[in-house]
Amino acid sequence: MRFIPLAVAGLSALVLTACTTGKEAGPSLGAPKPSGASSQALPPATLELWHGFSTDAEVKAFEDAIAGFNKKFPQIKVNAKKGIQDDQITAAIRGGKAPDVAASFTTDNVAQWCSSGAFQDLTPVIKSDGIDLTVLPAASRSYTEFQGKRCMMPLLADAYGMFYNKALMKGEQPPKTLSELTELTKKLTVRDADGNIKVAGFMPSTQYYENSPSHLGPMTGAKWYNEDGTSAIGSDPAWKELLTWQKDLVDWFGYEKLEKFRKSLGDEWGAEHPFFEGKVAMVLDGEWRTAMIANDPEAKSLDYGTAPLPVSDTKPDLFGSGFTAGSVIGVPRGAKNPQHAWELVKHLTTDTESLVTLSNALRNVPTTKAAAESPNLSDDEKFKTFLDIFSHPKTSTLPANINSVFNQDVFSTFLIQWEKGAVKDLDAGLKDVDKRINDKMKLSGG
Amino acid sequence: MASPVHAAPKPSRWRRSEGLRALVWMSPFLVGLMVFLIYPLIATVYYSFHRYDLFTLEFIGLDNYAYVLKDERVWQSATNTLWLVVFMVPAQLLFALGLALLLTKIKTGAAIFRTIFFLPSLIPLVAGTVAFVFLLNPGTGAVNQVLAAVGITGPDWFGDPAWSKPSLTMLAMWGVGNTMMIFLAALLDVPKHLYEAASIDGAGAFRQFRSITLPMISPVLMFSTITGVIYALQYFTQAMIASRVASGSTDSAGSVFTPGYPDGSLLTLPQHLFQSGFRDWSMGMASVHALMLFVAAMVFTLILLRQFRFAEEAR
Amino acid sequence: MSTTITAPPATAPARRGGTSPRDSRRRKTLMWIATHSIAIALAIMFIAPIFFVALTSLMTDDQALTSELWPQSWHFENFADVFAKSKLLQWTLNTFIYAGLATLFMLLSSVPVAYALARFRFRGRKATLLLVITWMMLPPQVVAVPVFIIWARFDLTGSLWPLILPLLLGDVYSIFLLRQFLVTIPRDYTDAAKVDGCSDFKTLIRVILPMARPAIAAVALFSFFYCWNDYYGPLMYTDPGDQGTWTLSLGLATFKAFHSVAWNLTMAATLLVTAPVIVVFFFAQRVFIEGVTLTGVKG
């Protein structure tokens, strides 16, 4: 009996080595098999594609784009699964159940996916297929690669601006500066006798749908990271400016009233969106909202306009810019048919006709120059605002960082405390956010 | 066959082979013990010294430990878990005991009341939690509407860090039927003549409860305490679902949900472990969390087992 | 539930002197009113959540977002909508397979172990029992990391198998409860069987099992319910991209977000998930209550 502990230890060591020497990742990309002409001869296969679109109209548009691919490759069947979120993609890849192709709405995980090898490096096939990446704008190129590994392709881009409900604006023009936004919010907000909010001019809560710090930051030109990758949140005065402005407005509403109102609102992706229902006059939102409004049987008659976001009073040159990011698509490690998968990714991200079709249906910003200039891209004044924001020189994106999700979460968590007034010292609070981001960075070996 | 025969079987031969036979009977279980308990415990210690994302394994010494010690979320989640042990478990037990006592006094319709009190414990956890969050919604939920009707402004329940854990405690009390049933059975098992004798001695209801009821049901009470604590230490589902539904933030595809809403007040240690291990894929850090949980579970086990033994011996 | 422990025996008041039988009857009546009003108040509170959920499930999606509690119009088609919009049937089936197989495997593997622990005297029996208790106390998350890695290695993540297969090797909670019950069976019975020349196996089948039927029913019921309720397990192991592998808990947890639906359908789904359990309860009420009670008393 005495040697049992020893046996256990030995056994464990054996199993440990067996379990940690990573499993074979399956076939990978970059085998010297040029696509193009010869790729029509790819053997028949069924691809599994995961994407995040969830509304019926979006799903249909995306499936139309896939149908275009099927015309080119009739032998490849694409099995698309809707409504998939990033953590589900990562979980599946880590667990060895990766789909052949996965698309994400955000760029948050690109750094982590590229650096860990969760998505395959596309560089070799891009080279062998002779794809010229300079047709992509620099921003889109940068958010799809990390430290020289290009593991993603930009599918469509998003730009963020302001939507305003003309009926609720009382004849006012959309605000250009933060102080104008404050003033207008106060003017447009409607309350009942008990002080409960009935219509909000603008929701200043960072917990409200698209009001994440990454989307709000460009209003004051706030920076996330220093050159060396450490957090700049505590040292960039632009954050302080933004947060002070935002808190003042929250306090004007009253945090509790605001929260009560926020929680009574409908689903962001459903037909009861507060903007559709006339419960908020001005919202920060992405360009795709134009398509959602057009596709909604009740909201399509809404009289609304779009404009760039208002900016800091001291930095008027920022006006016209905004936040951009986009959906990205790539081939995960462990894909069963990586070569087929790449053909699909290539088609969806570089085929002008496909991009224009998708852009027209989803009202997303097309990423290639050819698609952006295509005469088939439907003209629409409300959508044009976002094309302009997208191409504005000061428009920014969230820089890639392996802990991007964690960092944003740390910041958002702090912001909730800040909003409700639990933070006494803003500087110290932001410094603490810095420290937590940097500590995590060190642990991740970044 | 049923008639017991007292001629003892040859003990020596039986005895000698008993160990071997027991081993045969238990061998699948022993394999399970190795594969699903002993090995994982050792492996957890091993991983805790590494950076491991299921793709690459890298030795980093005590870095995970150093980080965890400084991580506010770890301490927050440990405190939350402790809160559940200290407040939720007693609240549940006392409420269950109260219900059971009440049921023993009910003369009319006892069976109906018993069924009504028991019923919520059958409702699937996720369903019950989703429903509770909806009913406690500050803007549209029924509870605050009813409170407003009698002139009380209800709190923001699952949206207020001060109220979120009490809200979960209410949910736990609602589903206390199992424990109540156990207590009820124990109470009815107390021999009636004891009360009669005490009554004759002039003992009041409270003294009867303290000197007869309590000692008689103490083993059952103890067992329910132990299971309650075990349950609180692994508390995951209700907190996760409540945060998810109450925050509403998951409603956007592409957004990443972080458990604990509001303000991390519902983040329990098992959730934090799950998040770091199976959402951030920092297996090393999750292993440190697992070891913390292990230590906590062992401490409570020892305390409770010792108490249990005292109680047993005292009888 | 006819037992009562309160009514003081008729002799008591007489001994204390002062109180007349009339007073005692009045006190009894007051007591009756007090206990029953408390019970009724509590019963309303216990039922109210289900009632409001049911009302909401019949509203329009617009009305479910308002603070009104009573449906303006009744929409029973909401329930059909839930089936149309989600894979509720598939989830139910998966949950059934999970809970059914897990329970079956648990019984096959745990009864023999409990039998061995309760009946055989061998060196290390106490140690094994202690291990069982310790394991029982341990939150499943403690060993989650290596266990997940094992299943990923065997390519079984993305399914419910990692939750079902381990039960072939025994479940500590069930082993413990069964063992506690089995030790109360007098040794005489098994000794007699041995003298009659029964093997261990035959003794288990012919003597132990029939006597342990209530305990077995109880652990089976518990195991089934545990799996039926389980959210953590399926969250870890089922395929996040394939709703066809999900269970009811998982589907319901993301129901509102995933299907972009309002509260009315979510509440309808909640009721649909709850209904089968309640129905089963009313058919097998006795088994339930006996089972619950047994686990508490034998522990």
Q: How much is the pLDDT for A241?
A: 96
Q: Which of C65, C149, C155 sits opposite A266 (nearest CB)?
A: C65
Provide the shortest C-alpha distance from residue C157 to chain A (in Å): 6
Q: How much is the pLDDT for B201?
A: 85
Q: Tell me: do B45 and B158 sit in the same domain.
A: no
Is A267 close to B42, i.e. CB distance below 8 A? no
Q: How much is the pLDDT for B45?
A: 96
Q: Tell me: do C35 and C111 sit in the same domain.
A: no
Q: Tell me: do C129 and C264 sit in the same domain.
A: yes
Q: Which of A81, A89, A270 sits opposite C262 (nearest CB)?
A: A270
Q: How much is the pLDDT for C11?
A: 42
Is A267 close to B251, i.e. CB distance below 8 A? yes
What residue of A is the nearest CA neighbor of B38?
Answer: A8
Is B72 close to A436, i.e. CB distance below 8 A? yes
Q: Does B249 touch chain A (CB under 8 A)?
A: yes
Q: Tell me: do B141 and B43 sit in the same domain.
A: no
Q: Does A9 touch chain B (CB under 8 A)?
A: yes
C-alpha Rg value of chain C to the nearest Å: 26
Note the pLDDT tens digit of each residue in A199-250: 999 999 998 989 999 999 999 999 999 988 899 999 999 999 999 999 999 9
Q: Which residues of C fall within a CB distance of 8 Å from A269?
A: 260
Q: What is the 3-state secondary structure (H, E, C) of chain A?
A: CCCHHHHHHHHHHHHHHHHHCCCCCCCCCCCCCCCHHHHHHCCCEEEEEECCCCCHHHHHHHHHHHHHHHHHCCCEEEEEECCCCHHHHHHHHHCCCCCCEEEECCCCCHHHHHHHCCECCCHHHHHHCCCCHHHCCHHHHHCCEECCEECCEEEEEEEEEEEEEHHHHCCCCCCCEHHHHHHHHHHHCEECCCCCEEEEEECCCCCCCCCCHHHHHHHCCCCCECCCCCECCCCCHHHHHHHHHHHHHHHHHCHHHHHHHHHCCCCCCCCCCCCCCCCEEEEEEECCHHHHHHHCCCHHHCCEEEECCCECCCCHHHECECEEEEEEEECECCCCCHHHHHHHHHHHHHCHHHHHHHHHHHCCECCCHHHHCCCCCCCCHHHHHHHHHHHCCCCECCCCCCCHHHHHHHHHHHHHHHHCCCCCCHHHHHHHHHHHHHHHHHHCCC
In a domain? residue B153: yes
The pairs formed by A13-17 with CB atoms below 8 angstroms and a separation of 24 or more are A15/B39, A15/B43, A15/C150, A16/B42, A16/B43, A16/B46
Residue ending a domain, among C9, C42, C75, is C75
Q: Tell me: do C94 and C116 sit in the same domain.
A: yes
Q: Tell me: do B38 and B178 sit in the same domain.
A: no
What residue of B is the nearest CA neighbor of C200?
Answer: B21
Q: CA A307, CA A305: separation in Å to the nearest integer?
A: 7
In a domain? residue C15: no
Q: Does B19 touch chain C (CB under 8 A)?
A: yes
Strand A280-286 to A197-202 pairing: parallel
Q: How much is the pLDDT for C152?
A: 86
Q: Which residues of B fall within a CB distance of 8 Å from A209?
A: 252
In a domain? residue B3: no
- Between positions 297 and 326 of A, the ones with CB within 8 A of B are none
In a domain? residue C82: no
Mean pLDDT of chain A: 88
Q: Give exposure, A350-371, as e/b (b: 16+ Cβ within 10 Å).
A: bbbebbbbbbbbbbbbbbbeeb
- Rounded to a whole number, what is the distance in angstroms from the first to the last CA of chain C? 23
Is B132 close to C270, i.e. CB distance below 8 A? no
pLDDT at A264 over 90: no
Q: Which residues of C fall within a CB distance of 8 Å from A54?
A: 258, 260
Q: Tell me: do B267 and B149 sit in the same domain.
A: yes
In a domain? residue B1: no
What residue of B is the nearest CA neighbor of A207?
Answer: B249
- How sure is the predictor about B30, in pLDDT bands with cuts at 50, 70 and 90? very high
In a domain? residue C245: yes
Q: Tell me: do C233 and C96 sit in the same domain.
A: yes
Q: Which of C147, C170, C249 sits opposite B29 (nearest CB)?
A: C170
What residue of B is the nearest CA neighbor of C119?
Answer: B22
- Between positions 213 and 272 of B, the ones with CB within 8 A of C are 220, 223-224, 226-227, 230, 233-234, 236-237, 240-241, 244-245, 250-251, 269-270
Q: Does C73 touch chain B (CB under 8 A)?
A: no
- How sure is the predictor about B250, in pLDDT bands with cuts at 50, 70 and 90? very low
- How sure is the predictor about B6, in pLDDT bands with cuts at 50, 70 and 90? very low
Q: CA C45, CA C49: separation in Å to the nearest integer?
A: 7
Q: Tell me: do B162 and B54 sit in the same domain.
A: no
Q: Does C82 touch chain A (CB under 8 A)?
A: no
Cβ atoms of A197 and A255 within 8 Å: the answer is no
Q: Tell me: do B155 and B294 sit in the same domain.
A: yes
Q: Does B56 touch chain A (CB under 8 A)?
A: yes
**For residue B60, what are the domain limits?**
17-64
In a domain? residue B297: yes
pLDDT at B242 over 50: yes
Q: CA B292, CA B274: separation in Å to the nearest integer?
A: 13
Q: Does A16 touch chain B (CB under 8 A)?
A: yes
Q: How much is the pLDDT for C27?
A: 85
Residue B208 carries which side chain, given as an amino acid letter? Answer: Q
pLDDT above 90: percentage of residues in chain B: 47
Q: Tell me: do B88 and B56 sit in the same domain.
A: no
Is B130 close to C253, i.e. CB distance below 8 A? yes
Q: Does B44 touch chain C (CB under 8 A)?
A: yes
Q: CA B19, CA C121: separation in Å to the nearest integer?
A: 7
Size of chain C in residues: 299
In a domain? residue C229: yes
Is B286 close to C136, i.e. CB distance below 8 A? no
**For residue C171, what are the domain limits?**
87-294
In a domain? residue B2: no
Q: Tell me: do C107 and C211 sit in the same domain.
A: yes
In a domain? residue B296: yes
Least confident of A98-102, B1-5, B68-72: B1-5
Is B18 close to C196, i.e. CB distance below 8 A? no
Is C169 close to B230, i.e. CB distance below 8 A? no
Q: How much is the pLDDT for A5?
A: 63
Q: Tell me: do C148 and C42 sit in the same domain.
A: no
Number of domains in chain B: 2
Q: How much is the pLDDT for C194?
A: 78
Q: How much is the pLDDT for B249?
A: 54
Note the pLDDT tens digit of each residue in A175-190: 999 999 999 999 999 9
Q: How much is the pLDDT for A329?
A: 95
Residue ending a domain, among C75, C102, C134, is C75
Q: Which of C148, C239, C258 sits opposite A97 (nearest CB)?
A: C239
Q: Tell me: do C43 and C99 sit in the same domain.
A: no
Q: Tell me: do B105 and B146 sit in the same domain.
A: yes
In a domain? residue B194: yes
Best residue in B70, B137, B280, B283 to probe A by mutation, most A CBs within 10 Å? Answer: B280
Q: How much is the pLDDT for B63?
A: 93
What is the CATH classification number for the domain harbouring C249? 1.10.3720.10
In a domain? residue C10: no
Note the pLDDT tens digit of each residue in B148-201: 888 888 888 998 889 999 999 999 999 999 899 999 989 988 888 888 888 888
What is the CATH classification number for the domain harbouring B87? 1.10.3720.10
pLDDT at B311 over 60: no
Q: CA A78, CA A73: separation in Å to the nearest integer?
A: 10
Q: Tell me: do B301 and B183 sit in the same domain.
A: yes
Residue ending a domain, among C40, C75, C110, is C75
In a domain? residue B12: no
Q: Which residues of B fall within a CB distance of 8 Å from A269?
A: 251-253
Residues of chain C with pLDDT under 70: 1-20, 257-261, 296-299
Q: CA A235, CA A430: separation in Å to the nearest integer?
A: 8
What tokens does B309 get?
Answer: 């033994």
Q: Tell me: do C160 and C49 sit in the same domain.
A: no
What tokens does B249 get?
Answer: 């933030």
Is A19 close to B42, i.e. CB distance below 8 A? no
Is C240 close to A91, i.e. CB distance below 8 A? yes
Q: CA A395, CA A387: separation in Å to the nearest integer?
A: 11
- Between positions 143 and 162 of C, the ones with CB within 8 A of B are 143-150, 152
Is C122 close to B18, i.e. CB distance below 8 A? yes
Q: Does C127 touch chain A (CB under 8 A)?
A: no
Q: Tell me: do B37 and B80 sit in the same domain.
A: no
Q: Which of A20, A83, A92 sits opposite C239 (nearest CB)?
A: A92
Q: Does C9 touch chain B (CB under 8 A)?
A: yes
Q: How much is the pLDDT for C3?
A: 39
Q: Which of C69, C253, C277 sits opposite B244 (nearest CB)?
A: C253
Q: Tell me: do C257 and C117 sit in the same domain.
A: yes
Note the pLDDT tens digit of each residue in B217-231: 888 888 888 889 888
Q: CA B14, CA B21: separation in Å to the nearest integer?
A: 10
Residue ending a domain, among B27, B47, B64, is B64
Enter the pTM of the model.
0.86
Q: Which of B52, B250, B254 sits opposite A52 (nearest CB)?
A: B254
Q: Tell me: do C134 and C252 sit in the same domain.
A: yes
Q: Tell me: do C153 and C49 sit in the same domain.
A: no
pLDDT above 70: percentage of residues in chain B: 89
- Between positions 76 and 95 of B, the ones with CB within 8 A of C are none
- How sure is the predictor about A121, in pLDDT bands with cuts at 50, 70 and 90? very high
Q: Which of B67, B70, B159 sits opposite A259 (nearest CB)?
A: B159
Q: Which residues of C fall within a CB distance of 8 Å from B28?
A: 109, 112-113, 168-170
Backbone dihedral angles phi then psi of residue C158, each to the nearest 5 degrees: 90, 5
Number of domains in chain C: 2
Q: Does A206 touch chain B (CB under 8 A)?
A: no
* Collapsed DSSP state (helix, strand, coil) of residue B8: coil
Q: How much is the pLDDT for C91?
A: 94
Dihedral sign computed on CA atoms, order A419, A422, A427, A429: negative
Q: Tell me: do C175 and C200 sit in the same domain.
A: yes
Q: How much is the pLDDT for C9?
A: 42
Q: Does A116 touch chain B (CB under 8 A)?
A: yes
Q: CA C273, CA C267: separation in Å to the nearest integer?
A: 10
